[in-house]
Amino acid sequence: MTEGQFDSSSGAASLGAGQGLWQACVDQLAQELPEQQFNTWIKPLSAQVADDLSKVTVFVANRFKLDWIRAQYSSRMAGMLEKLYGQTIVIELALAPREIASRSNIGQFSHGSSTVEELVEAGEDKVLNGPKNRLNTSLTFDTLVEGTANRMARAAAMHVSTMPGHLYNPLFIYGGVGLGKTHLMHAVGNRLLADKPGSKVLYIHAEQFVSDVVKAYQRKTFDEFKERYHNLDLLLIDDVQFFANKERTQEEFFNAFEALLAKKSHIVMTSDTYPKGLTDIHERLISRFDSGLTVAIEPPELEMRVAILINKARVEGTEMPEEVAFFVAKNVRSNVRELEGALRKILAYSRFNQKEISIQLAREALRDLLSIQNRQISVENIQKTVADYYKIKVADMYSKKRPASIARPRQIAMYLAKELTQKSLPEIGELFGGRDHTTVLHAVRKIGGERQQMTELNQQLHVLEQTLKG
């Protein structure tokens, strides 16, 4: 058997391996797809795997979703399963048993040229028919690992959850992907409902708000729309940067915003950047976003990443040795979502191969991730990425020129080289035109210190890090 492939030699073992194989496929999709897409289309799926692992039957809730998944994801899933198992696996889509009886009542969906509007019309209205608040009850303050990176945001969110409508209204949380912004919002909603069960709370992604606006215009149901959004005690809205260039949506959100503030309801929002960094959004909205408290969530520091891994492993019923957690944390540095993905790979690899979790096993399970990381993040790549970002020549990284327009990006590149590679200070200095290691040290300390004080610089560094890490 090739290393990393599954042993399907026994029937009993293959059943466990089959479900493990499907879970590994789902975990991989969770890493590759945007969170909203994954939660909408992939997470609700269930699967039945043939004893010989030759076929996977994927059960889908309704005909609309079945057609959409066939068009958008089935070939991707088949390719992923083949890569994981090492042999071709047939993907078959089927309606979940509870839906089969009523499938004749569900309209057919043509996926040739779909738009958001068509999706809203054709699909079941999960927002209205599902849980009214859309909260994930497992995302609480208790399950959130606290560290320097999220301490201020967590404290502000805790305050909002206990005293909504008072200070920090609106609360605007920003940061890169996978840092825990969504977790915090759900935690606020869950805590408020625990303290005041009758509260009207709604968590929603900005894309869903856009869809609801479209639907209200199509169906002329703005009274229902206002009833839904203007009478809440707490509105939690994720990724407001998706409102960019959507004039009608921005207008309706402004109206909802004003209505909620007037009745002393609380609004919590998240974004990938601070309010004034948002593009193609009306100034009056940005001023509203910035009128309360704006807090950032940073990438988790090493100790926090270790704690996250150990805690999440325990939730999965597994004890992760501390030295393994440190190994993973040192190599996966960007965000919590990547940490979770790495953990899933390690746990799956451990189950498939019936081996205890160790540094060597983690190294084998994450070999693709580690090889990509090592290949991509080089000093040369950092220099090129930073030069492109600040619109200077790569040659300026090595030159003796000292104008601020060049010296500043050069210092940023040195800082990133120290943070993202294993190079020593003298090695980095040599790659920057033979500069002394003290020059590199000065740049690292200067940019590191300013990052803590300057929001705009911190945001620029986030963008560069995300770009370099792919």
Q: Does the structure show a pLDDT above 90 at 150? A: no
- Asked if 235 contacts 260 with a C-beta cutoff of 8 angstroms, the reply is yes
pLDDT at 7: 44
pLDDT band at 113 (very low <50, low <70, confident <90, very high): very low
Which of 214-228, 254-268, 309-323, 362-376 tops mean pLDDT? 254-268
Q: Which of 30-39, 77-86, 397-406 has the lowest mean pLDDT?
A: 30-39
Distance between CA atoms of 325 and 320, rounded to whole angstroms? 7
pLDDT at 349: 87
Residue reference for tokens 């930073």: 386
Taking phi over 0 as left and psi of -120 to 50 as alpha, with beta for the rest, 434 belongs to: left
Q: Alpha helices, DSSP H only, in 86-150?
A: 97-100, 116-122, 126-129
Q: What phi and psi values does residue 455 have, to the nearest 5 degrees?
A: -60, -40
pLDDT at 375: 57
Q: What's the average model confidence in pLDDT over 360-375?
A: 77
Note the pLDDT tens digit of each residue in 21-49: 888 888 888 877 777 678 778 888 888 88
Q: Does the structure show a pLDDT above 50 at 58? A: yes
Cβ-count burial 371-394 (b if 16+ within 10 Å, e if not): eebeeebbbebbbebbbeebebee
pLDDT at 334: 66
**Helix H or strand E encompassing 238:** strand 234-238
pLDDT at 414: 94
Q: What's the average model confidence in pLDDT over 114-142?
A: 55
Q: What's the average model confidence in pLDDT over 87-106?
A: 63
pLDDT at 171: 94
Q: What phi and psi values does residue 283 have, to the nearest 5 degrees?
A: -60, -35
122 vs 364, higher pLDDT: 364
Any idea which fold 302-375 has? Helicase, Ruva Protein; domain 3 (1.10.8)
Which of 62-66, 109-113, 148-152, 231-235 tops mean pLDDT? 231-235
Q: According to CATH, what is the number of the domain 377-468?
A: 1.10.1750.10
Per domain, the residue ranges of the chain are 11-117, 128-296, 302-375, 377-468
Note the pLDDT tens digit of each residue in 158-193: 999 988 888 899 999 988 777 889 999 999 999 999
Q: What phi and psi values does residue 293 have, to the nearest 5 degrees?
A: -115, 130
Distance between CA atoms of 339 and 141, rounded to whole angstroms? 19
| Three-state SS sequence of 5-63 | CCCCCCHHHHHHHHHHHHHHHHHHHHHHCCHHHHHHHHCCCEEEECCCCCEEEEEECCH
- Asked if 236 contacts 203 with a C-beta cutoff of 8 angstroms, the reply is yes
Q: Is the dihedral of CA 17, 23, 28, 31 positive or negative?
A: negative
Distance between CA atoms of 61 and 31, rounded to whole angstroms? 23
One-letter amino acid of 418: K
Pairing of strands 55-60, 171-174: unpaired
Q: According to CATH, what is the number of the domain 11-117?
A: 3.30.300.180
Tell me what percent of the chain is helix, strand and coil, each rounded to the nearest 5: 60, 10, 30
Is the backbone peptide bond immediately before 170 cis, with ω within 30 degrees of 0? yes
Per DSSP, 358 falls in state: -
pLDDT at 119: 37
Q: What's the average model confidence in pLDDT over 373-377?
A: 61
pLDDT at 44: 86
Q: Does the structure show a pLDDT above 60 at 116? A: no
Q: Does the structure show a pLDDT above 90 at 452? A: no
pLDDT at 381: 85
Mean pLDDT over the full length of the chain: 81
pLDDT at 185: 93
Question: Could you report how far apart the first and last alpha carbons of the chain are, in Å?
Answer: 32
Q: Is the dihedral of CA 298, 302, 303, 309 positive or negative?
A: positive
- Asked if 254 contacts 220 with a C-beta cutoff of 8 angstroms, the reply is no
pLDDT band at 444 (very low <50, low <70, confident <90, very high): very high
**pLDDT > 90 in the chain, percent:** 27
pLDDT band at 267 (very low <50, low <70, confident <90, very high): very high
Is domain 128-296 annotated with CATH 3.40.50.720? no
Both structure tokens of 375: 């290949």
Distance between CA atoms of 24 and 256, rounded to whole angstroms? 41
Q: Does the structure show a pLDDT above 80 at 321? A: yes
Max intra-chain CA distance, the chain: 75
